[in-house]
């Protein structure tokens, strides 16, 4: 099925072809016609399924049909949970709009940077706004923009928006929008709070749910390496040095671990960079650009990088620390194997994390064979000790938990 058959104009089809989209993905083929009909849409699909274009293309088609308002007024508002996702959605919109006869002005708004350039950029209005909720409200309070003309609202990664505590901000933003509008909600998972938002927000929505099948699943090989907890950094260094031409995105549990692992890798002569929420936006942007340009071989990150990052031809993702949630595990490994490419996801499984990894496997309905690499395997004594004494041996889901300070002390003692 070609994109032209979905009701898109030739200028949009031309832009799509130049981005090497050969044919619509499943969610694009289902969502684009429904959005063009003006229907509210509830979309669910696995990571890397092309959902950004699924809402961007019909929004641009409507802009093309309606024409630009003078002065510019916000026609579409897209809310996202992270700075990087905001930047990527804005880039996608601009790329797909490059051949429109009327130039499109997209305002990308997020925190972590000075508000003044964003206020200056909003002078003269904007046609579309991509924003994180907090910074959007800041700019509204500064009278930099209004939402009274929005005809289409998109909530992208709705589950993550609510995970990050944006519920109050969302309620304030919704109160500022016109009652008559189109609502598009995309979410990878649907916990109770997302279901409540769907019931409140969407009117008779068309549900676009792309079930994961062998044909639609990303081509990601999963490996699980049993390793002593205090040898994970040495094992990571071994893997990086054994594959010097392959870039790796490594996930750890805290910003403390990010900085420590990066320090250890750099001492070993490996080009590595940190990525976590407490870095400035300038630093985060620089690290990503260096990684994409192959000037960094490794980026060590917290879960802030688990969603919204689209890094072409990223061959390897490593779970140095397992995520707390099986859903987060899927988002982490979904950074590789994107856009039809193959990928590799490696998880380090110390004895104290075995029960939690079994839970992750159960949620995937998958069994990942355990491997051991000589020199890094856990000792029998450490495995027995972990199973008998570790309070997180239940998988890290319930029960007694160590304090953050205790975990940091143990991490330092283990030399990670």
Higher per-residue confidence, 267 vs 384: 267
Q: Verify that 401 and 277 share a domain, yes or no.
A: yes
For residue 225, what pLDDT band results from cuts at 50, 70 and 90? very high
Averaged over 312-334, what is the pLDDT? 89
Query: What percentage of residues in the chain have a pLDDT greater than 90?
Result: 57
Check residue 25 and give its pLDDT. 87
How confident is the model at residue 381, as a pLDDT?
Answer: 54
415/260: higher pLDDT: 260
Domain residues for the domain of 269 are: 219-414
The reported pLDDT for the residue numbered 398 is 38
- pLDDT above 60 for 382: no
pLDDT for residue 68 = 74
**Residue 392: pLDDT over 50:** no
3-state DSSP call for residue 362? helix
Structural domain ending residue among the three candidates 209, 243, 277:
209
Q: Are residues 252 and 373 in the same domain?
A: yes
Task: Place 383 in a pLDDT band, splitting at 50, 70 and 90.
Answer: low
Q: Please, which pLDDT band fits residue 241 given cuts at 50, 70 and 90?
A: very high
Specify whether the CB–CB gap between 262 and 205 falls below 8 A: no
Nearest to 225 by CA among 390, 382, 394, 378: 378
Domain ends where: 154, 187, 209? 209
Q: Are 137 and 61 in contact (CB under 8 A)?
A: no
Counted domains in the chain: 2
Higher pLDDT pick, 71 / 108: 108
Dihedral sign, CA of 229, 231, 233, 237?
negative
Q: Is the pLDDT of residue 211 over 90?
A: no
Q: Is residue 323 part of a domain?
A: yes
181 and 95 belong to one structural domain: yes
d(CA 73, CA 144): 12
Please tell me whether residues 195 and 241 are part of one structural domain: no
Q: 153, 182 in Cβ contact below 8 A?
A: yes
| Statement to judge: residues 53 and 135 lie in one domain | yes
What pLDDT score does 84 carry?
85
Residues 366 and 335: their CA atoms lie apart, in Å, by 19
């Amino acid at each position: 099925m070609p994109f032209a058959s979905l009701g898109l104009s030739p200028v949009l089809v031309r832009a799509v072809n130049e981005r090497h989209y050969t044919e619509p993905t499943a969610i694009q083929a289902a969502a684009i016609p429904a959005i063009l009909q003006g229907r509210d849409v509830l979309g669910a699909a696995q990571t890397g399924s092309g959902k950004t274009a699924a809402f961007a293309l019909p929004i641009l088609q409507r802009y093309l049909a309606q024409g630009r308002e003078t002065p510019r007024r916000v026609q579409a508002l897209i809310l996202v949970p992270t700075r990087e996702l905001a930047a990527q959605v804005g880039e996608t919109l601009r790329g797909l709009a490059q051949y429109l006869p009327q130039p499109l002005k997209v305002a990308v708004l997020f925190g972590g940077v000075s508000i003044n350039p964003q206020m200056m950029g909003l002078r003269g209005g904007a046609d579309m706004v991509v924003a994180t909720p907090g910074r959007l409200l800041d700019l509204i309070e500064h009278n930099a923009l209004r939402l009274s003309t929005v005809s289409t609202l998109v909530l992208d990664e709705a589950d993550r928006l609510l995970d990050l505590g944006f519920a109050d901000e969302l309620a304030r933003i919704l109160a500022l929008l016109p009652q008559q509008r189109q609502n598009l909600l995309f979410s990878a998972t649907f916990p109770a709070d997302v279901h409540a938002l769907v019931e409140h927000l969407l009117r008779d929505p068309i549900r676009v749910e792309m079930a994961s099948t062998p044909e639609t699943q990303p081509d990601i090989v999963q490996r699980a390496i049993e390793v002593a907890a205090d040898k994970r950094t040495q094992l990571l260094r071994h893997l990086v040095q054994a594959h010097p031409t392959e870039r790796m995105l490594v996930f750890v549990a805290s910003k403390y671990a990010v900085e420590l692992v990066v320090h250890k890798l750099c001492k070993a002569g490996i080009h590595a960079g940190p990525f976590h929420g407490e870095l400035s936006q300038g630093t985060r942007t620089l690290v990503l650009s260096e990684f994409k340009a192959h000037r960094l071989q490794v980026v060590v990150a917290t879960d802030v990088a688990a969603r919204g990052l689209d890094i072409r031809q990223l061959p390897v993702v490593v779970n140095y620390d397992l995520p707390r949630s099986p859903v987060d595990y899927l988002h982490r490994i979904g950074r590789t194997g994107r856009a039809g490419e193959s990928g590799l996801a490696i998880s380090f499984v110390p004895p104290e994390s075995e029960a939690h990894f079994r839970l992750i496997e159960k949620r995937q309905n998958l069994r990942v064979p355990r491997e051991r690499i000589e020199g890094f395997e856990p000792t029998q004594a450490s495995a027995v000790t972990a199973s008998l004494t570790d309070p997180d041996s239940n998988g890290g889901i319930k029960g007694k938990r160590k304090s953050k300070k205790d975990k940091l002390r143990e991490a330092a003692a283990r030399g990670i």
